[in-house]
Amino acid sequence: MADRPEIGQGIGPVPSSGDTTDAWFMREVLPLESALMQFLRRNWRNESDLADIRQEVYARVYESARKQLPDFPKSFLLTTARHLLINRVRRERIVPIEAIGDLEMLGVPSDEASPDRTVMAREELRRLQAALDRLPQRCREAIVLRQVEGLSQREIAQRMGIAEKTVERHLSLGVRALADMLTLADTLYGEEKS
Amino acid sequence: MSAASEMRHDEIEVRAADWLVARRVRDDWDEEKQSALDAWLEQSPLHRVTYLRLEGAWSRTHRLRAIHQPEPIEKPAKAAYPRLRNMLAGFAVAAIGLAGLGAYLSLPREQTYATALGQHRAVTLADGSHVELNTNTLLRVNAARKIAWLDHGEAFFEVHHDASHPFVVMAGDKRITDVGTKFIARRDGDRFEADVVEGRVQFEGGIAHKPALLRQGDSVVADANSVTMPKKTAIDLARELGWRHGVLIFDATPLGDAAAEFNRYNADKIIIADDTTARLSLGGTFRTNDGEAFVRLAQQVLGLRIQHYPNETVISR
């Protein structure tokens, strides 16, 4: 039972531990976040639910991948999202019927020919820059000092003239904002696919 | 299906971010805190995916460091290393030929498993243990005695646990005794490394004067003169196991190390011309056989010079 994913094979590889699922999730699923958010936004009117829904989709995908890695992560992710939305609609009965129709009809894009991620390295730097630009100033400062300059917590505290504990607060807030801003930047600069 | 109703995403995310930052910046991070984090991650898949998502964003920013020159004091020179690896790789290919012959002649019950450059092979042993061999590896197994000799290379072990007959992996004068577990063992000549992915193992040998018990996330790195025991997170381990899926995962990895990794898998070698270049760092996920993508990235992101020769690509400033 080799774990090597083989293209064109019907049965997906079986992960043998949570650790390999983590790597798979970070490599294959997280980069699809902008596609997932666009899908959710189109099909769910209440913006304030989106983050919760997104995380629930992730959790389901993760749990399922723990048993069996799907061959086509993008299709699997969006199909999971679609099922979850349909269930919510049925449970909460707050969305007009036509929204369901739209969901049922929606074709899920396939995974074929994913672009070579490494080719887009320059593009990636542009997105990172755009995301960082959108962070609160102190958070950005702390993240850049840590991640780009490679300073220690103490050095950052000295450089910014704040307590070490406060450095953690800025970083913690910063990384949360960064995750959202990266998805936004991916959407803004992304190829107009899904 | 109401997992989300227990706790709003916001609250989980605040916790996850605090964990991540503590894990990444605190000097006093220790085993106890790590197990508390592991426990929290295990509590709910929502915790885990939230943490992974932030981890993903956090490590993406590492790429900005690629365009940033590191301070020259950081690490000892490493440029000669890929060349040495070349020679070792050539030697190892010859050794596999001999070992294949040796397997016919050796005593019954001792089975030899080998992989050539770039190969990946999974085997299930007679006792139900599962072993995966990475590139350029030679492993001999006596299933009846439950001993394996790692002559060179790297393997992932998922050991069928039997308290009365523990599984032993020998690598030169180093020895890992399984106490029910999954672990990675890697040997390059004198250098030996083991990482515990799950469960516990006991390490003995090298210059260590007493056996050490390693748990999940513990590693041991031993050579002729030293034994160290660095900690690894689940995510570090997942990166190191990328080869099981045919990929190399780098995160702010010095070019010298990354090139050495590619050269483990491919006959066409990547050579880093000088130490300064070897210290520049890069992140990304690559197929083990796609050194070309890595070279392109070095060219585009770091603005390095690429020269192609037969069987060799040289990266320089």
In a domain, A154, yes or no: yes
Cα Rg, chain A, nearest whole Å: 19
Q: What is the DSSP letter of A147?
A: I
CA distance B233 to chain A (A): 10
In this structure, the answer to whether residues A23 and A92 fall within a common structural domain is yes
- The mean per-residue pLDDT over the stretch B140-163 comes to 86
In a domain, A142, yes or no: yes
Q: How many domains does chain A have?
A: 2
In this structure, the answer to whether residues A101 and A122 fall within a common structural domain is no
Q: How far apart are CA A57 and CA A70, in angstroms?
A: 14
Task: Output the pTM of the full model.
Answer: 0.46
A14 touches chain B (CB under 8 A): no
**Residues on chain B touching A44 (C-beta within 8 angstroms):** none
In this structure, the answer to whether residues A23 and A99 fall within a common structural domain is yes
What is the reported pLDDT for B261?
92
- The answer on pLDDT for B112 being more than 60 is yes
In this structure, the answer to whether residues A94 and A54 fall within a common structural domain is yes
Structural domain ending residue among the three candidates A76, A105, A134: A105
Q: For residue range A78-137, what is the model confidence (pLDDT) as tens digits?
A: 999 999 988 887 776 554 444 444 444 444 444 444 444 443 566 777 788 888 888 888
In this structure, the answer to whether residues A184 and A164 fall within a common structural domain is yes
A165 touches chain B (CB under 8 A): no
Q: How far apart are CA B126 and CA A45, in angstroms?
A: 57
CA distance A108 to chain B (A): 23
Structural domain ending residue among the three candidates A67, A85, A105: A105
What is the reported pLDDT for B306?
92
In this structure, the answer to whether residues A100 and A121 fall within a common structural domain is no
Residue B214 pairs in a beta bridge with B201
- The mean per-residue pLDDT over the stretch A170-189 comes to 89
In this structure, the answer to whether residues A45 and A97 fall within a common structural domain is yes
Q: Which domain holds residue A168?
A: 117-189
Q: For residue range B26-69, what is the model confidence (pLDDT) as tens digits?
A: 888 888 999 999 999 999 999 999 999 999 999 888 777 655 43
In a domain, A50, yes or no: yes
What is the reported pLDDT for A47?
81
Q: Taken in order B112, B150, B268, B248, is the CA torsion positive or negative? A: positive
- The answer on pLDDT for B182 being more than 70 is yes
A104 touches chain B (CB under 8 A): no
> Are A153 and B54 within 8 A, CB to CB?
no
In a domain, A23, yes or no: yes
A16 touches chain B (CB under 8 A): yes
Q: Which residue has the tokens 């890697």?
A: B186
pLDDT band at B86 (very low <50, low <70, confident <90, very high): very low
**Residues on chain B touching A54 (C-beta within 8 angstroms):** 9
Per CATH, domain B121-238 is 2.60.120.1440 = yes
> Are A56 and B44 within 8 A, CB to CB?
no
A110 touches chain B (CB under 8 A): no
Structural domain ending residue among the three candidates A72, A105, A138: A105
In this structure, the answer to whether residues A78 and A135 fall within a common structural domain is no
CATH number of the domain within which A156 lies:
1.10.10.10
In this structure, the answer to whether residues A98 and A31 fall within a common structural domain is yes
- In chain B, what are the domain boundaries? 3-64, 69-104+246-317, 121-238
Q: For residue range B283-306, what is the model confidence (pLDDT) as tens digits?
A: 888 889 889 989 988 888 888 999
pLDDT band at A190 (very low <50, low <70, confident <90, very high): low
State the ipTM, two decimals. 0.79
Fold of the B69-104+246-317 domain: Phage tail protein beta-alpha-beta fold (3.55.50)
